C-alpha cells in the first residue's frame, strides 16, 4: 500500500494542509529516458494534488546486489529530479555536477527544481522535496540477520567489491523492510527490540539495525488469496 501523511504550514495567517507520499514505485529496469519521464510525470501530478514531499522507491528481494541496488544506479538523481534552469538566487536547485554525488556526503533528500506557478494547487510556486527509498522484501529469516547484523561483509557474495550493507544503505534517505512471513517478521522485531535496549554507540558500530526506518506490513497478499496479512500479528511483535 501507499504510505502517505499530512502536515501543515503557515502561509501568512492561513494554515494550509499538505501531503507527502513515501512510496512512489519506480522501475529500476527501465531505460534512463523512460525512468526520467515516469519520475517527472509523477512529480507534476502529485504536485498538482498538493503533495509537498515524495519518496521514489526501489524494491530489492532478499540479498542485496551491490550494482543493481545501489541508489545511484536504481534511482539516480539525474533521472528523478526535474532540473529546470535555476535562477541566480536559487541555492537549493541541484546542479548537473552533483546529481550523482556520493550518497554518503549528500543531505537528506533533495529539492526538485520543478515549480508550477500557474497551478491552483496548494503548492503553487513551491518546490517539491524528493527522497530515495529502498524497500527490501524478506522471505528468509537468514536474510534478516545478514542484512542487519553482518556489517563487515560484502553486499553480494558474487561481488568482488568490499562495500558493506551499511554503505549501500547510506545512499538512500529511507530504508524499509517488508517481511512476507511470520519467521522473518519475528526475526526483524527481535533484532529491533534488542537494539532499543542497547547503547546507541554500540548498536550503531556493530550492525545496521538503526538504519531501518519503516517495517512494511503487506495486506495485499492474504493467506487465502484475499486482503489481509499472510501471518498473525502477535502482541509481542508490537510494543
Tell me what pLDDT residue 164 has.
83
- Helix crossing, 141-148 with 182-196: angle to 10°? 30
Q: Reduced to 3 states, what is the DSSP secondary structure of residue 3? A: coil
Tell me what pLDDT residue 85 has.
47
Tell me what pLDDT residue 10 has.
40
Long-range contacts of 108-113 (CB under 8 A, 24+ apart): 108/173, 109/53, 109/173, 110/77, 110/81, 112/43, 112/81, 112/82, 113/81, 113/82, 113/83, 113/84, 113/85, 113/86
Tell me what pLDDT residue 185 has.
92
Tell me what pLDDT residue 6 has.
45
Please tell me the distance from the alpha carbon of residue 147 to that of residue 155, in angstroms, as a whole number.
8
Tell me what pLDDT residue 229 has.
80
- Cβ(115)–Cβ(127) under 8 Å? yes
Tell me what pLDDT residue 14 has.
45
Q: Pairing between strand 51-61 and 129-138?
A: parallel
Q: What's the whole-model pTM score?
A: 0.75
Residue 183 belongs to what H/E stretch?
Answer: helix 182-196
59's grid cell: 524494491
Each residue's pLDDT, cut to its tens digit, for the chain (239 residues) gives 344 444 444 434 444 566 889 999 998 888 999 999 999 999 989 988 888 899 999 999 988 998 899 999 999 999 998 865 444 444 444 443 444 443 333 356 787 755 555 544 444 556 789 999 999 999 999 999 888 886 555 455 544 455 688 889 999 999 999 999 999 999 998 888 887 766 555 444 557 888 999 999 888 766 566 677 878 888 877 76
DSSP characters over 66-130? TTTT-HHHHS-HHHHS--PPPPTT--SSPPTTTTT--GGGS-SSEE-----TT--STTTTPPPEE
Which residue is listed with cell 524478506? 138
Burial of residue 186 (CB within 10 Å: 0-12, 13-18, 19+) is: middle
Burial of residue 213 (CB within 10 Å: 0-12, 13-18, 19+) is: middle
Amino acid at each position: 500500500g501507499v504510505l502517505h501523511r499530512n502536515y501543515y504550514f503557515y502561509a501568512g495567517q492561513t494554515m494550509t494542509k499538505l501531503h507527502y507520499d513515501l512510496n512512489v514505485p519506480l522501475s529500476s529496469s527501465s531505460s534512463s529516458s523512460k525512468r526520467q519521464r515516469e519520475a517527472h510525470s509523477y512529480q507534476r501530478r502529485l504536485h498538482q494534488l498538493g503533495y509537498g514531499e515524495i519518496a521514489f522507491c526501489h524494491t530489492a528481494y532478499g540479498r542485496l546486489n551491490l550494482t543493481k541496488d545501489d541508489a545511484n544506479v536504481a534511482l539516480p538523481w539525474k533521472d528523478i529530479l526535474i532540473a529546470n534552469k535555476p535562477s541566480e538566487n536559487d541555492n537549493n536547485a541541484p546542479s548537473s555536477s552533483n546529481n550523482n554525488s556520493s550518497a554518503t556526503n549528500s543531505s537528506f533528500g533533495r529539492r526538485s527544481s520543478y515549480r508550477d506557478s500557474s497551478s491552483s494547487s496548494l503548492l503553487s510556486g513551491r518546490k517539491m522535496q524528493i527522497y530515495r527509498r529502498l524497500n527490501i522484501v524478506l522471505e528468509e529469516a537468514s536474510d534478516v540477520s545478514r542484512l542487519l547484523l553482518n556489517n563487515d561483509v560484502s553486499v553480494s557474495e558474487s561481488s568482488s567489491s568490499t562495500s558493506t550493507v551499511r554503505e549501500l544503505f547510506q545512499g538512500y534517505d529511507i530504508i524499509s523492510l517488508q517481511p512476507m512471513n511470520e519467521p522473518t517478521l519475528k526475526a526483524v522485531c527481535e533484532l529491533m527490540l534488542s537494539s532499543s535496549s542497547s547503547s546507541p554507540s554500540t548498536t550503531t558500530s556493530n550492525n545496521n539495525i538503526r538504519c531501518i526506518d519503516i517495517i512494511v506490513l503487506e495486506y495485499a497478499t492474504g493467506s487465502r488469496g484475499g486482503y489481509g496479512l499472510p501471518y498473525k500479528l502477535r502482541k509481542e511483535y508490537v510494543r
